[in-house]
A = this chain, B = another copy of it.
Amino acid sequence: MSVIDDLASEFARLPGIGRKTAYRLTHHLLKVAPEEACRLARAIDAMAERVRRCSICHNLSESDPCEYCSNPARDRTTICVVEEASDIRAIDSSGGFRGLYHVLGGCLSPLDGIGPDELNVESLQSRLDENVREVIVATNPSVEGEATAAYLHKILDPRGIRVTRLARGLPVGGDLEYADGVTIAQALAGRRVI
């Protein structure tokens, strides 16, 4: 196998990249200057070498504690629980949250053999000192995400911590006509006084 096929098959291992796209990316890198192609290689090396899990919130970061846990400006009374570190970026760039995060590392899925012990639940509980007043469960709006939220509510509620869930409803810019029935039902149930 040539180095061209090698690189294409490495690209094809990435999610959402098929065989044809892999060859298109490879030929793009063949066309640009070698230094530019190598910049991608250097960026991968730097990431693989320097990115670690934060020992507090399990976020992926170059520093430990991560930039959120070590930032004194963040609101330490609220922890937002997410499934994956990649969810933090989506929430933080929304500008709607200035508290701390906690990465579960997935969500409860008995069929896949993922129970509470496989997730970062214990470290979440150890973080809940007297300062923390609210835990926002921002798992995905899927069956597993809901089950995880229900589980967290069950174990955190007795400790006097307010456990909340992200609102379900119509996405902004969405079209009522094309919304699915479950979403509309949730939007109706969660309706607010104007």
Contact = CB atoms under 8 A, between A and B. Distances in A.
Interface of A: 2-4, 6-7, 10-11, 13-17, 21, 23-30, 34, 36-51, 60-62, 67, 84-86, 89
A4 to B, nearest CB: 6
B89 A50 contact: no
A7 B48 CA distance: 10
Query: What are the 3 A-B residue pairs with the smallest beta carbon separation, nearest first?
Result: A41-B41, A34-B48, A27-B86
A16 B16 CA distance: 12
14 contacts: A3-B51, A6-B43, A6-B46, A7-B40, A13-B36, A14-B40, A27-B60, A29-B44, A29-B47, A30-B47, A30-B85, A38-B44, A38-B48, A41-B45
Contacts of A16: 21, 24
Nearest to A49: B34
Given A7-B44, A23-B86, A37-B44, 5 more contacts: A3-B43, A14-B25, A17-B25, A29-B48, A30-B47
Contacts of A40: 7, 10-11, 13-14, 41, 44
Contact of A10 (B11, B14, B15, B43): B43
Contact of A47 (B4, B13, B61): B4
Contact of A7 (B21, B24, B43): B43
A62 B11 CA distance: 19
Contacts of A15: 24-25, 28
